[in-house]
Amino acid sequence: MGLQPPPAATGTDEFPRKTFGVPEGAFRLDSQVTVVTGASKNIGTSISLAFAEAGADVVMVARKKERLEAAAAMVRRAAPDRRILAYAADVGKAADAEALCAFVQEETGGADVLVNNAAGYGTTKATTILEIGDETWDEVHRTNVLGPFRLIRGMFAEAHKSGRPGNIINVLSGSG
């Protein structure tokens, strides 16, 4: 059966959709390409699904290939008319970020939307700043700061030159 939206999201007699004057179809993303990092679980998978259901093709990115493939398969089942690509990468690594940008350009012609959702916590979530060593801090910084920076720069450099807008969403959450 797969993941199902709540009744209020689709509009039913019991929960009518309220548009507040927004034209029908205003939130459609047909012919758009969205890249979602941290897409193999939780918020990232839900974001990928929402963009696919809105008509976007989605490149789902995460470090763990097996879990990423399972999440991508679920999104494909829910949005069979959309192109859903799974790309395993660690966005905290410069070479992986660069390769991802090249892949997106080659496979899709470029991203319209980038959702930076990947988050790194180092070796443990249950620690205070007083206990974090430099190595852990560097790992967290690479994923949470340098990764999004490199992806924004890499995904939208060509689009910027041609005047094509890019849309960037940065998610900051410890909920994954």
Residues 40-81 pLDDT 10s: 999 999 999 999 999 999 999 999 999 999 999 999 999 999
How far is CA 92 from each of CA 66, 78, 147, 160, rounded to the nearest angstrom?
19, 30, 5, 23
pLDDT for 15-48, tens place per residue? Answer: 555 566 667 777 888 989 999 999 999 999 999 9
Domain annotation covers residue 83: yes
* Amino acid at residue number 35: V
What's the number of domains the chain is made of? 1
Domain annotation covers residue 99: yes
Q: What is residue 119's predicted lDDT score, i.e. its pLDDT?
A: 86
Domain annotation covers residue 18: no
Residue 108: CB partners within 8 Å, gap ≥ 6? Answer: 33, 57, 59, 83, 85
Domain annotation covers residue 157: yes
CATH of the domain at 50: 3.40.50.720
Domain annotation covers residue 20: no
Domain annotation covers residue 14: no
> What is the domain range of residue 124?
28-170
Domain annotation covers residue 10: no
pLDDT category, 6, cuts 50, 70, 90?
Answer: very low
- Distance between CA atoms of residues 155 and 97, nearest Å: 10
Domain annotation covers residue 2: no
pLDDT for 121-172, tens place per residue? Answer: 766 666 777 888 888 888 888 999 999 999 999 999 877 887 878 899 999 7
For the entire predicted model, the pTM comes to 0.83
